[in-house]
Amino acid sequence: MLESARTPGMNIYTYSEIEDVSGFVGNFEVKIRKKARYVNNDCNGCGACYEVCPAYGYDEFNEGMNPRKAIYASFTQAVPSIAQIDMTKCIKCGLCESACELNAIDFDQEEEIIEIEVGSIIVATGWDEYEPETGYLGYNVYPNVITQLKLERILAPNGPTFGHLVRPSDGKKPKNVLFIQCVGSRDLTKQTYCSAGVCCMISIKNTKLIKQHLPDVDITVAYMDIRAAGKDYEEYFTASRKEGIKYVRTNISKIHEDPETHNLKVILQNTLSTAGLKEFEYDLIVLSCAMVPPKGIEKIERILKLETSQDGFFKEFHSRLNPIDTKIPGIALAGVSQGPKSIAESIAQGRAAASSLARLMSKDKYRILLIRANVDKELCAKCGLCELNCPYDAIKIESDGAEVNEILCRGCGSCLANCPSEAITLMYYREPQYEKQIDAILEEI
């Protein structure tokens, strides 16, 4: 991100969101809502304001495991490296304003709408970690049941514990750790899909990392299937087993806590052995949760007029032959916006999306096939069925009848099939043409 910020010609709008997109390939008009930071660009990120601020808020970057001040930087390497104020927590005491030597605090700052013109768009929304319901496997009830993202922040050198693995309940080092796989995924009542094996590889990586720092910790991974499909992934999995990490094929439905020690008791059975049910006690349990579409994806779907597939991620033009482009010319998908992917797959698709749109935009003209819908407005009843059933949002009902956007139309024929007035025809696919072809075939016979 820091390297991107230094790239000439690249404009980065942080702490902003897309408000509206109009136009078509080569001529998109985008409105960006730039949120108010209440700190101007004179800020150099010195942190003097953080120290004097008496108000605290929820630290999103550290998954809420420690508080942050009402005036703060999003994270260490944030771009730009300046402060911002959370007005829902700010008490307007003015201490930050007094501590700032550059007069960068501006409580009168307001949101602004920025309008830009672009030729193409890449959608790269990322993903969210599935959040289990409160009480499911002890989540949000027992303090020593955490998710993989929280574990990532605990193990990070700039995290709330500076990289030291400790239990949230008492700050002590755990002696026994259990990882539970496929939480919220491969489940008919939740997400039916697998998160592309990402959860498995994150667990393997984190178990090895814990072993490096705390060799005496006993680690168990409860799994349905370990999906280590990738270059050297299986070897990585084998290496973790050689380090003494135990993998138990089982399903876990309930977790109980000892109220005095906050240790967690689990009853499980290894389905690959003849042993029966046994109760085990763990100091810390880590839930490997599914990758799910990020919050706000519905707004982007509505603004860009895209579709989502059954899993909730954006739908590509063709799942096998063209997983990069969307149904809207000039809009491509990258990374997990299209579906669960590893980092390597996300990088590959990001490059593919950039290449696809670069090839498109390098040409002087955008060529389209002339198979397009035509509307006879004298027959059009303005019922709106064509607009409702058009998968490309290419038809709008106007005062004089249906109007077809020739750029967005792909000539699929959905409008033709649904028109009760037979007012729509496809260019080069009219009935008289078929009749002539049939007559010519019959003449030869």
Task: Give the 3-state secondary structure of 336-386.
Answer: HHCCCCCHHHHHHHHHHHHHHHHHHHCCCCCCCCCCCEEECCCCCCCCCHH
- Among 292, 308, 338, the domain-final residue is 292
Residue type, 118: V
Provide the pLDDT for residue 239: 95
Pair (170, 245) in one structural domain: yes
Give the separation between CA 338 and CA 309, rounded to whole angstroms.
9
Q: What does the pLDDT profile of the chain (445 residues) look like in tens digits?
A: 778 888 888 999 999 999 999 988 999 999 999 999 999 999 999 999 999 999 999 999 999 999 999 999 998 888 888 999 999 999 999 999 999 999 999 999 999 999 999 999 999 999 999 999 999 999 999 999 999 999 999 999 999 999 999 999 999 999 999 999 999 999 999 999 999 999 999 999 999 999 999 999 999 999 999 999 889 999 999 999 999 999 999 989 889 999 999 999 999 888 888 777 889 999 999 999 999 999 999 999 999 989 999 999 999 998 889 999 998 999 999 999 999 999 999 999 999 999 999 999 999 888 887 889 999 999 999 999 999 999 888 999 999 999 998 888 888 899 999 999 999 998 877 777 778 888 888 887 6
Cα Rg, the chain, nearest whole Å: 28
Co-location of 221 and 278 in the same domain: yes
pLDDT of residue 444: 75
Which amino acid belongs to residue 441?
Answer: I
On whether residue 29 sits in a domain, the answer given is no
Number of domains in the chain: 4
Residues 324 and 255 in one domain: no
Distance (Å, whole) CA 343 – CA 336: 9
| 272 in any annotated domain | yes
CATH number at residue 94: 3.30.70.20
| CA gap 387, 392 in Å, rounded | 9
CATH number at residue 206: 3.50.50.60
Between CA 88 and CA 60 the distance in angstroms is 14
The C-alpha atoms of residue 296 and residue 33 are separated, in whole angstroms, by: 14
Query: Which secondary-structure segment (H or E) carries 251?
Result: none
Residue 439 lies in a domain: yes
Domain boundary among 74, 109, 144: 109
Q: For residue 14, is it within any domain?
A: no
| 98-123 exposure pattern, b = at least 16 Cβ within 10 A, e = fewer | ebbeeebbbeeeeeeeeeeeeebbbb
Contacts of residue 373, defined as CB under 8 A and 6 or more positions apart, other chains included, come to: 386, 394, 395, 404, 409, 411, 413, 415, 416, 424, 425, 426, 427
316 and 337 together in one domain: yes
Looking at 243, 262, 292, the residue that finishes a domain is 292
Residue 367 lies in a domain: no
For residue 24, being part of any structural domain is answered with: no
Q: Which residues pair with 280 in a beta bridge?
A: 266
| Same domain as 145, residue 288 | yes
- List the domain range (segments joined by +) for residue 414: 373-444
Both tokens of 306, joined, read: 């895209």
Residues 67 and 180 in one domain: no
pLDDT of residue 436: 83
Q: Residue 373 pairs with which residues in a beta bridge?
A: 426
Does any domain span residue 16? no
> Taking a C-beta distance cutoff of 8 angstroms, is the pair 59, 66 a contact?
yes
Q: Assess whether 168 and 228 both reside in one domain.
A: yes
Looking at the structure, tell me whether residues 202 and 327 fall in a common domain. no
Helix (H, G, I), strand (E, B) or coil at 318: strand
Kindly state whether residues 135 and 85 are assigned to the same domain: no
Please indicate, yes or no, if residue 30 is contained in any of the structural domains.
Answer: no
Same domain, 331 and 379: no
One domain for residues 312 and 286: no
State whether 261 and 193 are in the same domain: yes
Torsion sign, CA atoms 321, 322, 328, 329: negative
Tell me the angle at which helices 148-155 and 198-213 cross, rounded to the nearest 10 degrees: 30
Amino acid in position 346: S
Burial letters 222-239, b for 16+ CB under 10 A, else e: bbbebbbeeeebeeebee
